[in-house]
């Protein structure tokens, strides 16, 4: 009888110990989840946890296929080349989170930045990269058949309204990171209607830059001049997106505007 009692006590003790260890592990996991852990999103649906610290510069990229890097055989896009250039300016680790979506319009981006994960990434970013507007204007080349002023203004009005809301949404979650909004180039500059399309793109850029000027630390980055003279040298085979060389030009342009104070670069 005594032996059975001792065995029962031993079993209960063992079970209690296991339950205690399991509970301790759950507490440890909960604590870890609240210690500034951030996620790296490369646009592939996979996430990698990293502990938040000041020895790291986080770049969050949002926007359309230009942010995604469509047309770059290396798969980097301007965001990747910007990150490469930033690495040359700092001793800190540089993390790029790319959330670019092919075909995204300003209305789609406005919805995307409301998503909890994107809001977290924007909140934790040191630098924010952005491309938007090309699909609103060109609509896959459809606009080439409607180059009259009234039609373009009809496209631009909702875009500018969305852009204000996008900037405001970013600033609502992150007031300190500089936003670099990459402007539009004209992929149709070698066509017969080049003069008209160039005028449209220039005005679109001017109006977008005017909106950017109303928000603190939002920089509208011009790219029109980069493609103006030799556009076909910098376009992918679809004659719309940049190729690797084109993305490198954009990345270098953006990175040239990014500067760190001496203490920030260490």
Q: Which domain holds residue 15?
A: 1-34
Residue 162 confidence (pLDDT) above 50: yes
Residues paired with residue 39 on neighbouring β-strands, in sequence order: 49
CB 86 within 8 Å of CB 57 = yes
Q: Show the tokens assigned to 2.
A: 């005594």
pLDDT in tens, 119-147: 999 999 999 999 999 999 988 666 677 78
Confidence class for position 148, pLDDT limits 50, 70, 90: confident
Helices 77-87 and 244-256 pack at an angle, to 10 degrees, of: 50
**pTM value surpassing 0.85:** no
What is the side-by-side order of every strand in the sheet holding 56-63? 93-98, 56-63, 127-131, 178-182, 218-221
- 44 and 20 within one domain: no
- 65 and 151 within one domain: yes
Residues paired with residue 178 on neighbouring β-strands, in sequence order: 127
Instruction: Count structural domains, the chain.
Output: 2
Give backbone dihedrals phi and psi of 233, rounded to 5 degrees, phi first: -70, -20
Query: What is the C-alpha to C-alpha distance for residues 41 and 173, in angstroms, rounded to an integer?
Result: 18
- 48 and 144 within one domain: yes
- 65 and 29 within one domain: no
Measure CA 142 to chain center.
26
- 26 and 83 within one domain: no
Give backbone dihedrals phi and psi of 216, rounded to 5 degrees, phi first: -65, 140
pLDDT in tens, 167-203: 999 999 999 999 999 999 999 998 888 999 999 999 9
């Amino acid at each position: 009888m005594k032996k059975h009692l001792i065995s029962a006590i031993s079993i209960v003790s063992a079970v209690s110990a296991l339950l205690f260890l399991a509970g301790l592990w759950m507490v440890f996991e909960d604590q870890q989840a609240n210690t500034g852990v951030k996620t790296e999103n490369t646009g592939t649906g996979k996430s990698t946890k990293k502990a938040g610290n000041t020895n790291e510069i986080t770049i969050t990229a949002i926007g359309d296929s230009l942010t995604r890097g469509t047309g770059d055989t290396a798969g980097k896009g301007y965001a990747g080349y910007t990150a490469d250039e930033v690495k040359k300016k700092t001793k800190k680790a540089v993390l790029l989170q790319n959330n670019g979506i092919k075909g995204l319009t300003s209305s789609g981006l406005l919805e995307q930045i409301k998503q909890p994960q994107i809001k977290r990434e924007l909140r934790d970013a040191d630098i924010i990269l952005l491309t938007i507007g090309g699909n609103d204007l060109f609509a896959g080349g459809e606009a080439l058949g409607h180059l009259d002023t009234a039609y373009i203004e009809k496209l631009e009005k909702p875009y500018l309204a969305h852009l204000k809301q996008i900037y405001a949404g970013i600033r609502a979650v992150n007031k300190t990171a500089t936003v670099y909004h990459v402007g539009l180039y004209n992929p149709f500059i070698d066509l017969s209607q080049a003069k008209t399309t160039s005028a449209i793109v220039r005005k679109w850029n001017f109006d977008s830059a005017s909106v950017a000027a109303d928000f603190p630390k939002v920089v509208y980055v011009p790219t029109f001049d980069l493609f103006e003279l030799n556009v076909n040298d910098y376009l992918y085979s679809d004659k719309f997106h940049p190729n690797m060389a084109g993305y490198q030009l954009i990345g270098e342009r953006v990175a040239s505007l990014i500067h760190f104070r001496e203490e920030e670069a260490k």
